[in-house]
Chain A
Amino acid sequence: MTETGDFILQTQGLTKEFKGFTAVNGVDLRIRRHTIHALIGPNGAGKTTVFNLLTKFLTPTRGTIAFNGRDITPAKPAEIARMGVVRSFQISAVFPHMTARENVRVALLRKLGTSFHFWRGERALAPLNDRADELLAMVGLERFREAVVADLPYGRKRALELATTLALDPELMLLDEPTQGMGREDVELVTQLIRKVSANRTILMVEHNLGVVSTLCDTITVLQRGAVLTEGTYAEVSADPRVKEAYMGRAA
């Protein structure tokens, strides 16, 4: 009973095979509610694939996924998003030909219930502007509202993606390397931002920057060749010789 109360997301034996190659192999994840949980591991360990399975961008070969105690294995990606599990992408996912404000507005629009209204003018979008600007300010993009996103530097695009994800007020946020490709300052900014938005929310993040992981994350799951190698706090995991070896193995 407390099982499902404590854990917002649970997977059992999650497996994904690509033509004989097993990218994710029997992963049992348990994400505790209102924590920040990291998924780390060397390149190609299967982290992004796990995200794709959780959000059903890929269909698991085997295994089940439960969100809030409910089996969501058969759900479609958009349904999962509507339930409150929203992801970001490893390669920044924005709408490049729209402005920053329009990007965030599109995310806000769905709950307004007018997303099929093709006969309404631009004015129908106006009520969303304040909230959109608020979210943009939150990620330090207030000066770039009207900028076409294709012209923004990479770090700004990632920040925008975060604002767009936040616009949905997700219960569980999946962030795939939110600081990748960012300079030191931006990393700092995003780290603080993630901490800020983690209140009343659960976050599962893939992150290579161990500094970020150590400051932010309550629990860390280490993935290696598609399987869970170990799990624990940063101190526990970083002391584990197998983890070092896994990362060394990558370097060699």
Chain B
Amino acid sequence: MKTKLAYLLLLALLLVAPFLVYPVFLMKLLCFALFASAFNLILGYGGLLSFGHAAFFGGAGYFTGHALKVWGLPTELGILAGALGAALMGLAIGQLAIRRHGIYFAMITLAMAQMAYFLFVTSSFTGGENGLQGIPRGTALGLFDLQNNLTLYYFVLAICALGIGLIARTVRSPFGQVLAAIRDNENRARSLGYDIERYKLLAFVLSAGLAGLAGATKTVVFQLASLTDVHWHMSGEVVLMTLLGGLGTLAGPAVGAGVIVTLQNYLASGPLSAWVPVVLGVIFVICVLAFRRGIVGELRALIRNSF
């Protein structure tokens, strides 16, 4: 009951938000909220630290950019193509990495993402250093002109809500239960007859595909696909967002993404603009040292302990 009310409140807030805050900024927030939530699916619920998620996020941006600009696909299909492309990348990278644990898994994902970065830099369809610019936003369902920021906002909101909704459902699904079991005790799950690698791989592909959905949507918003989004900085940033917000909580990554993106925006225009990485680094250190469960995790613990 209470949660239903909270959801309705959140929905109302999201619906009126573009009248209060600059919609493009809100759309950026939404895309990163989805990106971090997708990342959380593999780290928080799968127990696997991927250090290469920028490849999916940024890669999807290129795919979508190409599909919209060169192939002239409708916007929805272009975004879908980006997400699918990212899922396929996830399948390829996952196959190689999934048998490894801990730091080795992180290293392989990082190495593969660096290779993807190299490919994106050198291949011609990405526009190299310049990136893909002037990507057309097109229309939604062939009816609503997405050049209008307000219209685009609701379009983006719908995509991100669907994406995060799917993640929430996945976590509670039968598959999510198996995933939770694997994260809790891999050997026991194996002794119950589960081929744990296949479950981890599916989780990884889902995570990659949804990270791609976020990147593809962001590309439509900014009409741009660039190297920033495939750079390893981006892989690090999403780790930070997820940890800051609360690992393995549904709302945590979105909250973390909100905090980081907002900070970046404010700092970038102020006197501290050159210090953004330092500020983020300090936040990260404080988060790791003082509140390890992240914002949402700590709040939840607080509520649980005071009742």
- Given known A-B contacts A78-B190, A93-B188, A120 and B174 have beta carbons under 8 A apart: yes
* Cα–Cα distance between A76 and B195 once the two chains are bound (Å): 9
- B188 closest partner in A (C-beta): A93
- Given known A-B contacts A94-B188, A118-B202, A119-B169, A82 and B193 have beta carbons under 8 A apart: yes
* Cα–Cα distance between A210 and B82 once the two chains are bound (Å): 64
Residues of B within 8 A of A118 (CB): 169-170, 173-176, 202, 206
A95 touches B181 (CB 8 A): yes
A121 touches B191 (CB 8 A): no
* Cα–Cα distance between A76 and B197 once the two chains are bound (Å): 12
Residues of B within 8 A of A95 (CB): 180-181, 184-185, 188-189
Residues of A within 8 A of B188 (CB): 89, 93-95, 164
Contact of B177 among A82, A106, A164 (CB under 8 A): A106
B166 CB within 8 Å of chain A:
yes
Residues of B within 8 A of A116 (CB): 174-175, 198-199, 202
Residues of A within 8 A of B178 (CB): 106, 109-110, 115
Binds B, one of A1-9, A96-104, A182-190, A228-236: A96-104
* Cα–Cα distance between A240 and B199 once the two chains are bound (Å): 50
A222 CB within 8 Å of chain B:
no
B173 touches A121 (CB 8 A): yes
B193 touches A110 (CB 8 A): yes
Residues of A within 8 A of B185 (CB): 93-96
- Size of the chain A interface, CB-CB below 8 angstroms: 38
* Cα–Cα distance between A98 and B188 once the two chains are bound (Å): 13
Q: Which of B162-213 contact A (CB under 8 A)?
A: 166, 169-170, 172-178, 180-181, 184-185, 187-196, 198-199, 202, 206
A78 touches B194 (CB 8 A): yes
- B206 closest partner in A (C-beta): A118
A98 touches B192 (CB 8 A): no
- Among A87, A94, A120, the one with the most B-chain Cβ atoms within 10 Å of its Cβ is A120
Residues of B within 8 A of A55 (CB): 191
A122 touches B191 (CB 8 A): no
Residues of A within 8 A of B170 (CB): 118-119
A204 CB within 8 Å of chain B:
no
- Given known A-B contacts A89-B187, A95-B184, A114 and B174 have beta carbons under 8 A apart: yes
- Given known A-B contacts A81-B192, A120-B174, A121-B172, A97 and B187 have beta carbons under 8 A apart: no
- Contacts A86-B191, A89-B188 supplied; 11 other A-B pairs, CB < 8 Å: A78-B194, A78-B196, A79-B193, A96-B184, A96-B185, A107-B192, A115-B174, A117-B173, A117-B174, A120-B174, A124-B174
